[in-house]
Structure 1
Amino acid sequence: MRDPRLIAHAKKMRREPTEPELRLWDVLRAKRFNGIKFRYQKVIGRYITDFSSRAPMLVIEIDGDTHVSQQDYDARRTAFLQSEGYRVVRFTNSDVMTNLEGVVQHLQILIDTAPLPSPLRGSSLSPEGERVL
């Protein structure tokens, strides 16, 4: 069960976005980026992600100045998200504010080179991807 306090905090964060979050959200929202559905300030486990997508499994974080002092927390958070199957990419506020085009290009490269998902267990597909009769 999700923590109601965490959900309330995520809602508050959605109502009070930072300028870098607004700029990147304008690119990602409403499937504007490659038709991918991103969620903003989404709770995953015990953490709130800035932007996340289930297909591809990707979390995008925009780190402000306070993240320098939160390296241990960020490492635990990243490890958890990776254990859930997400790729995690981080940008600084400055990256987004001064080089949004570069951030978007980096995301495009990540998506273009994303590993294919593992086949489901018990699947009737052969290793070559053709259906086995």
Structure 2
Amino acid sequence: MQIVTHIDNIAIRRNFVAPLPYNKNLKPLLPGKRKSGILCEILFWKQVHQRKFHGIDFDRQRIIGNYIVDFYVKNLGLVVEIDGSIHDLTIEYDGIRQNDLERYGLKVFRLTNHDVLNNLDISMRDLELFIIENYGI
């Protein structure tokens, strides 16, 4: 068992996930998504970029199967999605998407734009607690 990091003195174990499917047809969309400058994603990225969040390596705008997820942590098999108000209209699609991602053995943690913009510290603490609950030993 490999330890990725510690949060609140709790060891966080690595979660091995089978190789994930990759839809190469989505690759041309990545530069535009990365440059779109969605404020809540930029604020979150500043918290986790370059292993600032407990030494954990986050990828931004990662292709997994037929989806582009906002953030992905390979060592944990963790997807972090930041949902804007458009997600109020895509509840059924989001459920299918989440089920597909979970079928790959991934865990999905969701934040709202509102929480990131107005309660970033609480959002980051919620992420810590989610990681402890799902990967702590």
Structure-2-length-normalised TM-score? 0.79
**Equivalent pair of 1:42/1:49 in contact (CA under 8 Å):** yes
1:1-133 matched pairs, under 5 angstroms: 2-115=22-135
- What root-mean-square deviation, in Å, do the aligned CA atoms of Structure 1 and Structure 2 show? 1.7
**Equivalent pair of 1:61/1:89 in contact (CA under 8 Å):** yes
Alpha-carbon deviations, 1:89-119, whole Å to 9, x = none?
A: 1111101000000010001111112247xxx
**Equivalent pair of 1:56/1:114 in contact (CA under 8 Å):** no
Deviation, 1:19, is 0.2
Structure-1-length-normalised TM-score? 0.82
Alpha-carbon deviations, 1:33-52, whole Å to 9, x = none?
A: 11111100000000000001
Deviation, 1:55, is 1.5
Q: Select the structure with the greater relative contact order (CA < 8 A; seq sep ≥ 6).
A: 2
Quick check: which has more Rg, 1 or 2? 1
- Considering fraction of residues, name the structure with more strand: 2
Identical aligned pairs, as a percentage? 32
Alpha-carbon deviations, 1:55-96, whole Å to 9, x = none?
A: 211111111111111111101110011111111011111010
Q: Following superposition, which runs of at least 4 residues in structure 1 exceed 4 angstroms of deviation?
A: none
SS at match of 1:62: strand
Amino acid at match of 2:76: P
Partners of 1:24 and 1:67 lie apart in 2 by 18
Partners of 1:58 and 1:2 lie apart in 2 by 16
SS at match of 1:113: helix
SS at match of 1:48: strand
